[in-house]
Amino acid sequence: MTRAHSSPFARTVIDVIAPQLGIATMLDHGCGRGSDVHHYRTSGLDADGWDPHPGFGQAIEPERQYDLVTNIFVLNVLPDPWQRIQAIQHAARFVRPGGHLFVVTRSPADIDPRAIPANWRTHHDGYWSSEAKGTFQKGIPTEEIIALGHQAGLRPTTQQIPLKTSPAAGQALLVKPKWSGSTPVTATGHRSGTLGGSPAGVGRPDDSGARRPGTPTPPRPARGDAVTPLRPVDGRPG
C-alpha cells in the first residue's frame, strides 16, 4: 500500500521548520513515490525527491545542495547499524553548509510494544517484523539520531524550533556547520560539501513495509575501507 497523502512530519516542515529557518530549497531523501515532495511543492518550496528504487521514478541523484534535507522513517528499517551511518552520511552530502537535516524515526515506544506480542524475532538491535517479507524495524530515540548525525559531521541546531513531539517518533533537526577550512571527508570518500560519485543509494521505496525482500545485508567494512550507502525502505511497521 502506498501513502496517497503527505505525512504529518511533512506538514511539520511546512508549518514550522520552513518559516522558522527561511527554507527555500529542500530534498526529501528516501522519498518513495513522492507524496511528501508534492506537498512541499504545492506549498511553494523548491523541492526535489530522491529514492534509489527505479520503479518510483526518483532515482536520479541531485547535483546540488539544499537548505533542508528530510530523512523520514528510513533509518529505523535498516537491519545493520553500519547502514544507518551510511544513510545519514549520504543524506548529509546534500545539505549546504549552514543548512539542516530533519530526521524522523519510529521510536522504541512505538516499535517495542508491537514486537513483543507479535513475537517478532530479534535481529541485531531490532526485530524482523516479517521474515517472509524481509522487513525490519528498530525503535530509534532522538538521542541516537543525534549520535548518528555526529558520524556525518552534523550537530543539533541551537535555534529554538518548536517541533511537535510524539511518543511514537524520534526526531532531530541537525545542522551542517559552516566550515572555515577544509570540509570533513565522509565514509563515501567525498568531502561533505561535494556531490561527486554515485552511491548505491538510500531510500524509502514503498510505504507499506520495510526492507525489500532479497536486499542483502553486507558485512561491516573494515576500518578505513570506503563504503557505499545502502538502500533502506519505508519505515511503516511490516
Assign 210 a pLDDT band (cuts: 50, 70, 90): very low
- pTM greater than 0.85 (yes/no): no
Average pLDDT over residues 140-157: 97
What does the alpha-carbon distance between residue 87 and residue 104 come to, in Å, rounded to a whole number? 13
Which pLDDT score, from 0 to 100, does residue 185 have? 41
Which of the 8 DSSP states describes residue 229?
Answer: -
In the chain the beta strands, taken as DSSP E runs, fall at: 25-29, 46-50, 66-72, 95-106, 121-123, 126-130, 135-137, 155-156, 169-175
Query: Does residue 94 have a pLDDT over 70?
Result: yes
Looking at per-residue confidence, does 1 or 70 come out higher? 70
Tell me the CA distances in angstroms from 66 to 9, 17, 117, 193, 220, one per residue in order: 18, 14, 42, 11, 30
Q: Measured at the alpha carbon of residue 183, what is the angle toward residues 177 and 187, in degrees to the nearest 5?
A: 105
Assign 16 a pLDDT band (cuts: 50, 70, 90): very high
Which residues partner with 169 through β-bridges? Answer: 106
Average pLDDT over residues 127-143: 95
pLDDT, tens digit (0-9, with 9 covering 90-100), for 32-73: 899 999 999 999 999 999 987 888 888 899 999 999 999 999
Query: What is the CATH code for 8-175?
Result: 3.40.50.150
User: Maximum Cα–Cα distance for the chain, whole Å?
Assistant: 52
Looking at per-residue confidence, does 105 or 180 come out higher? 105
